[in-house]
Each structure stands twice: as structure tokens, then as C-alpha cells.
Amino acid sequence: CLLPRRHSLLSLHAASFHTQEMSKLGLGKNVDLHIMQLPVAYQKAKELVCKIWTTLQPLLTIHIGLASSSKVSIILEQCGKNKGYKEMDVCGFCPEGGCCLLDGPERIESTINMKTLWKNISVEGIDVIFSRDAGRYVCDYIYYTSLYYGNGRAAFIHVPPLSKLVTADFLGRILQIIILQMLKQHSHFSKQ
């Protein structure tokens, strides 16, 4: 996990290059960064997300997942969905009833306004996209769970796989810009 001094938590569950780059770059003096990779397994990821919220008690959690279908775009996800999980994870497991929480709300919105973030982020060399559908697989499942236990204080960013155009260094710098903007927005929201 990347944990800024009870300010935010960056939970990485895609590839280790995110971890390495964010460790190198950091998020500034006021942010203690802790790094955690979450498995692509519904149950284990849910347990770890619950543990993050109960043990670490961050003010904000930011998850980063790999969008293999996204060639050269970063996708800012606004909300997590509770139902529609029909695909098995790497362990061959599918959530009971196809949902995260049997009595949970249908959808949970992030307190981070991803649309505002999307409109204000300009990065050369890669598209930044706003989305309201994280995909009904482990990424969306993790996001919904984090939004639920964190009372909306979570964010999710889908990133493309590394390539000649999207290097680890390039992606790390873009994530740093986006996450710092999220932290500013969260700080402003928290003061209201």
C-alpha cells in the first residue's frame, strides 16, 4: 500500500512497475507512502481491503488496476457497482449472487469528483478518460468494497499495460500528477 500520513492510501493490485515508480517518485513530504499489491482474487482482495480500512484507517484510498484493453489511456473510474460479477477470478471463484455485498447499495460514488479531475488533467502522450463503469471483475469488486468500507473515500484508476509508448517512468509521473490532484480535491472536500 502507499499510505500518505493518514492522508491517503494507494493500493496497487496490477503490476509491480507501479509500485516501483510510485516508490521512487513519492507524493511529497506530507504523504507517507505505503505500497500493497492486491491479488486478482475476489475473496482475498476483499479481506485485504477490509483490513486496510479497519487497520490503517486512511482518509483516502486510491486503487490502480491494469486495463489490458486500454492501449494508451488512463481511465478515471467514478463509481463501483455491487452486482453483475459473473466472471471467475484466478482461483476459479465467483462471488455469491454475483455481488459484492448482498445487502449493499447498487452503486457507490467516490467522494473524488473524477469528472472534474478528468476535465482539469492534461497530459501529453496519453488520453485520460472519465468512466462510470469499472468493468464487473476484480477491479470493480475491489473498488466497490473500498467505497463501501471507506464511506466513498476511495478512487480507482485503470492504466494501460507498459509498451514503447507507455513506459514505467512515464506512467509513474502521470499517476503522480493525477494522485496529487486527487489529494488536493480530497483536502478541499474534507475542509467543507
Q: Which residue numbers are catalytic? A: 77, 139, 158
Q: Which residues contact 42 (CB under 8 A, 6 or more apart)?
A: 85, 89, 93, 94, 95, 138, 141
Which contiguous run of DSSP H or E holds residue 52?
none
Which contiguous run of DSSP H or E holds residue 140?
helix 138-149
Query: What is residue 98's DSSP assignment?
Result: G
Measured distance CA(159)–CA(175) in Å, rounded: 9
Measured distance CA(36)–CA(11) in Å, rounded: 5
Measured distance CA(159)–CA(61) in Å, rounded: 17
